[in-house]
Amino acid sequence: MRKNIVAGNWKMNKTIDEAVDLISDLKNLIDQEAELKSQVIVAPPFVNLPGVSKVIEDSKMHLSAQNCASEESGAYTGEVSAKMLKSINCEYVIIGHSERRAYYGEGDAMLSRKVDFALQSGLKVIFCLGERLLEREKGEHFKVIENQLKNTIFMLNEVDFANVILAYEPVWAIGTGVTASPGQAQEIHAYIRELITKNFNEQIANATTILYGGSCKPSNAKEIFANADVDGGLIGGASLNAEDFIAIIQSF
């Protein structure tokens, strides 16, 4: 049975003191929950990972990085390897976020290398995919999704693929305040699961967690998460406020 997951991507926000305050507030709220119906993951900026890790080491939360290098080690100034992330207690890493694709030109070949190094280092991968507004308006969104999968994680074997969580993020709905309707989210999530069935098998498809990312907030999370093929969310702005994030976690 697949997991429900709520993951908070803090992006480039919070100094170390602010990060510790936020994660401490969130930990206190989560500790008050009698039963969590989803796994909770937080993804702070690189410099805040050790501080956040220390706060959550005895909690119900899990630690993720927002990115990793496409090389194992070497003369790559400014980069952080998957092995380094594993060494500071990261369990997950986000790969393929639309902002990395758009602002830093990360294409399928680079993303595949990142995925490979992450998995080899013992990290689990939250792999992002999604279409831009123009692609949706042209009716190309299904093909875009298929290609993003076919050229990257569908090249993995079944054992490695089991350590991948997918996050569908319509690029036109990230940070815009516009959200895909529950019907639109379900349509794409069901399509992704169908593609997994075709590439692997139905058992693997039914075991794969697929998250929704794109202006998900307390006011719409419950309706989005109610869809049969939506297993949680990759949350951006709303994860920077402990009360908002816990409200989304409680939407299951």
- Enzyme catalytic residues: 97, 169
Please, what's the b/e burial string for 93-111 (b: 16 or more CB within 10 A of its CB; e: otherwise)? Answer: bbbbbbbbbeeeebebebb
Structure tokens at 82: 């998957």
Q: What's the CA gap between 109 and 19, in Å, rounded?
A: 33
Please, what's the b/e burial string for 22-39 (b: 16 or more CB within 10 A of its CB; e: otherwise)? Answer: bbeebbebbeeeeeeebb
Query: For residues 119, 120, 122 and 126, what is the CA-based torsion angle, rounded to 10 degrees?
Result: -10
Structure tokens at 122: 């013992």
Q: Which long-range contacts (CB under 8 A, 24 or more apart) does 20-23 make?
A: 20/51, 20/52, 20/55, 22/240, 22/242, 23/52, 23/55, 23/56, 23/61
